[in-house]
């Protein structure tokens, strides 16, 4: 299944606020589709439907395909610890996620493009793979080109997030950030019940 390219506000009307997908707000309050208008509160939601929506939140917020998300689920199961938290930490340690959290880009898709175009460095080396898994003590920086620096600086000025996550230590003068730890559950911008996502994939 390919990555979603359709209307973003349609997704946020159905799933709620998704900071990584878009910062815009829809003027319409009803859910999309012919059954959406005036049906809020009347719609019967099954347990499967609730789990599916939580999974869709994760998928659309981080801009993942179904196969990518399932690979992260399998990796989280393989590691020792709380599967749901490990899953979120794996996603937050992606290079595009870190760039988004630092304010280098306004959305996760823009952060992915920033990485793909070679504007971002990890430990002084250019990395153009958005899904690159960063590690603790890695230094995330901006390529020493005027165009790269001006692009990131403009995005930082327009950033809507007042505070940055505690697991990232950012130096605004050098445009560098150090990964000091794995992310804390309370630092996530996305409102999500990750346990329901794990339950959704429990039979696979």
Contact 103, 155 (CB under 8 A): yes
Separation in Å, CA 43 to CA 12, 34, 40 = 18, 12, 6
User: Does the pLDDT value for residue 41 go beyond 90?
Assistant: no
The predicted model scores a pTM of 0.85
Task: Give φ, ψ of 170 to 5 degrees.
Answer: -105, 130
Kindly state the average pLDDT of the residues 42-69.
87
Say which range, 115-124, 162-171, 173-182, has the weakest mean pLDDT: 162-171
Q: Name the CATH topology of 8-90+190-200.
A: Ribosomal Protein S4 Delta 41; Chain A, domain 1 (1.10.1050)
Which residues lie below 8 Å from residue 113, measured CB to CB, with a gap of 6+?
A: 105
Q: 């938290």: which residue's tokens?
A: 85
Q: 């595009």: which residue's tokens?
A: 96
Class of the CATH domain delimited by 95-181: alpha beta
- Give the model's confidence band at 31: pLDDT under 50 very low, under 70 low, under 90 confident, else very high: low
User: Does the pLDDT value for residue 72 go beyond 90?
Assistant: yes
Strands (E), 25-138: 120-122, 125-126
Which tokens belong to 37? 């208008």
Q: Do domains 8-90+190-200 and 95-181 have the same CATH topology?
A: no
Residue boundaries of the structural domains of the chain? 8-90+190-200, 95-181
Question: What is the chain's mean pLDDT, rounded?
Answer: 85
- Which pLDDT does position 5 carry in this prediction? 74
* Residue 162 vs residue 71, higher pLDDT: 71
User: Does the pLDDT value for residue 23 go beyond 80?
Assistant: no
- Which pLDDT does position 34 carry in this prediction? 54
């Amino acid at each position: 299944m390919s990555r979603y390219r359709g209307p973003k506000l349609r997704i946020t009307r159905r799933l709620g606020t998704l900071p990584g997908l878009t910062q815009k707000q829809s003027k319409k309050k009803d859910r999309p589709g012919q059954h959406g208008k005036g049906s809020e509160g009347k719609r019967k939601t099954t347990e499967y439907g609730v789990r599916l929506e939580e999974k869709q939140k994760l998928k659309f917020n981080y801009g993942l395909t179904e196969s990518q998300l399932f690979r992260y689920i399998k990796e989280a199961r393989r590691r020792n610890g709380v599967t749901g938290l490990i899953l979120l930490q794996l996603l937050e340690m992606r290079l595009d996620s870190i760039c988004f959290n630092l304010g280098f880009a306004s959305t996760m898709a823009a952060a992915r493009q920033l990485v793909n175009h070679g504007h971002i460095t990890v430990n002084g080396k250019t990395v153009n793979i958005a899904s690159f898994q960063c590690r603790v003590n890695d230094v995330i920086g901006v390529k020493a080109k005027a165009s790269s620096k001006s692009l990131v600086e403009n995005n930082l000025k327009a950033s809507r997030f007042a505070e940055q996550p505690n697991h990232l230590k950012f130096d605004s003068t050098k445009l560098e950030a150090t990964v000091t730890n794995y992310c804390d559950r309370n630092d996530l911008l996305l409102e999500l019940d990750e346990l329901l996502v794990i339950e959704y994939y429990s039979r696979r």
